[in-house]
Amino acid sequence: MKYHILFVDDEPKVLDGMRRMLAGMRREWIMSFAEDGPAALEIMAAQPVDVIVTDMRMPGMDGAELLQKVQERHPEAVRLVLSGYTEKRFLGRAFPPSHQFLSKPCSRDLLVSTIRNALQSRELLASAGLRALVGSITRLPTLPEIFREISQELARDEPSIEKLGAVVNKDVAMTARLLKLVNSPFFGVSHKILNPVQAVNLVGINYLQSLVMVFATFDECDVSIPGYSLRRLLEHSLRISCVAGRIADLERAAQDVRDACLTAGLLHDVGKLVLASNLPAAYAEVVERVRRESRPVYAVEREVLGANHAEMGAYLLRLWGLPDSVVEAVLRHHDPCGVPPGFSPTLAVHCADILDRELMVIHPEYFKPQLDPECLRRSGLEGRFEQWKEGGRAVCAGGDVDEA
């Protein structure tokens, strides 16, 4: 099976250059080329398109408007921006409906690897319907006090990058989308950014202000599902981030590994935000069955929805171009035993999740996961769990945790 890739640019010479540059990919892809948004939509209406790569500044229908229409009509398609137009105010319009940004000039290797990685994300989520659901996402809930804290800091005469990064780090949705942006090739960084303070510093104060406004237009936190609490889910995610970071410290992990532990811990349940926010009725059934049957939430999710929150979250984050170490930890945070031996963010997040549910006061009807000793033994870290547990006690002190 060949994937269908659609390239859109109003400059015929640019499209001709792409044809020549990517001629060798015809063994792997079917490629179509369109000179404007309406022509691109006609192609997509006539035949399935797996990936659309569009310029931003085009006469008539610009790239942002095109991607919005593609998201509405063909949500299963991967949506990439390839543009030399760098006005950040303009790009803010394209942020919600796009998956990744690429900047012109773009090398063949970078373009091909970005498209391939996006296509490989499909292996994480078998259901075409759920892939379309992720592709149609217009909201991930954020608590209003997060917006308020950021807005208050931005209103100061000299906003603090450190304080803004710390506030962003409190929130799963905002962290995920900010890292999506800064890790796109558009920003031209030579390595993956996993630290929210670094991300805020990279985008700058003025652009962060515009991003907050973009987020606020489609973020709502009024998901009303009995037994589901966004606030407790976010508090749990923040604790997992802190505990995973503490475990990394105890293992004297390198800074990039520690950053991956912190980020993966915060984002490990982002798939629950996707499911609860976009399929509230189905997710209400999941929550009710988890309570009634005292079974793992990921098992019930798979029965009811056809996939679990770990797969949903990993699919979304890979589409957004986050590092493999974070995607792998999110995907396997319930079952890390297939990862290579040695310490890893996947193992840290898995153990932090177990520790949190062991140390916290939880509802007795919830399924309580247990650590598989073989998992640590195969990783060469047998006997380390008790020390990690002591290190996590201060982080997990007090409060309830919501399994759903």
**What would the pLDDT profile of 73-106 be if each residue is shown by its tens digit?**
999 999 999 887 655 555 667 777 888 888 888 8
CA dihedral 285, 290, 296, 297 (to 10 degrees): 40
What per-residue confidence (pLDDT) applies to 143? 66
Q: What is the pTM of this model?
A: 0.81
DSSP label at residue 359: H
Percent of the chain surpassing pLDDT 90: 33
Token pair 């059934």 in the structure block, residue: 285
- 3-class secondary-structure state, position 59: coil
- 3-class secondary-structure state, position 54: strand
Is the pLDDT at 262 greater than 90, yes or no? no
What per-residue confidence (pLDDT) applies to 146? 76
Is the pLDDT at 147 greater than 80, yes or no? no
Query: Of 141-155, 247-261, 302-316, 348-362, where does mean pLDDT reach its minimum?
Result: 141-155
Q: Which of 71, 84, 176, 80 is nearest to 132 (CA)?
A: 71
| Count of CB atoms situated within 10 Å of the CB of 209 | 15
Three-state SS annotation for 92-154: HHHCCCCCEEEECCCCHHHHHHHHHHHHHHHHHCCCHHHHHHHHCCCCCCCCHHHHHHHHHHH
Q: Which domains does the chain have, with CATH numbers?
A: 3-124 (3.40.50.2300), 144-218 (no CATH), 230-401 (1.10.3210.10)
**What would the pLDDT profile of 119-135 be if each residue is shown by its tens digit?**
988 888 888 888 898 88
Average pLDDT, the chain: 83
Q: What is the mean pLDDT of residues 282-304?
A: 91
Q: 39 falls in which pLDDT band (50, 70, 90)?
A: very high
CB 47 within 8 A of CB 4: yes
